[in-house]
Structure 1
């Protein structure tokens, strides 16, 4: 098919697509899609992102088809839009990765290496907490365990129905603290 024939075919299909003919839209895009795929793959190198970029760009063009002014061939318009979106996506991903790396570096720089003495101290503290917990009533242990598990869910105990539970939890924490202080006092005496 000559370039002139291709331009006429594209113009006819575009006119039908702009009037709401979905089949014409897909007929217009099918040969173009086959050329877009390798170009975007070269830019992004990630098949999942490639499909997302092409599809989201084509959907956006479809939803704003009346904005196409015809200054260039429709295929050129689509090609440029997809190419720009691919490079924009690549740039966003690179910036995102760079930010993640910077955050990871910041966290790593704040984290001091644990010395053997610190590891021993952490182990001793864990042992002390275990012993203090074992000296509590089962209901206090259950409350404290539930509070620690729920802490990740960020469910505040603020409703009137949970007022009793808040008080019981406060008391259980106080008893745990008292038990730990007693155990620490006994260890110091020995």
Structure 2
């Protein structure tokens, strides 16, 4: 099966991956987002299928056994995984794929789909990352220190990924991402 491009946005929670993904989907009709699965609780403003399929730990573990996922990982004591079928369906429809994954997920996905372009998104600083997480979650989450510690570990391995960018100011950073996407689409 001929495949279209896959772009994986990688980075710590709060770096801006979801915001970039939403903007790309609004600007590029040839991209499809693959909705991933999680066992974490819904946040305010989320619903089933937006931004995740929310399932119980038991159901997630059944899906692992059924080989339903391209990749899955346990992050902050919650499971996250990318379903296989929607990727194949997108390609049958002639669509490219864009996803946002954490470091573990991106590593596993890249093993399965080595042609994927991985773009690591850095926050401008740990202090700014802290501010973004607190603002997004409506206060400091219980696991904020753990998330920030994990963010530093993820940033330390960012060189593993194909491209890197710092999300200082959204419109400038998005222009940089858009340039990468346009180059990828031209070559596919």
TM range (shorter): under 0.3
Query: TM-score, normalised on structure 1?
Result: 0.18
Query: Computing the radius of gyration over CA atoms, which structure comes out larger, 1 or 2?
Result: 1
Q: Could you say which structure has the higher helix fraction?
A: 1
Query: TM-score, normalised on structure 2?
Result: 0.18
Q: Could you say which structure has the higher strand fraction?
A: 2
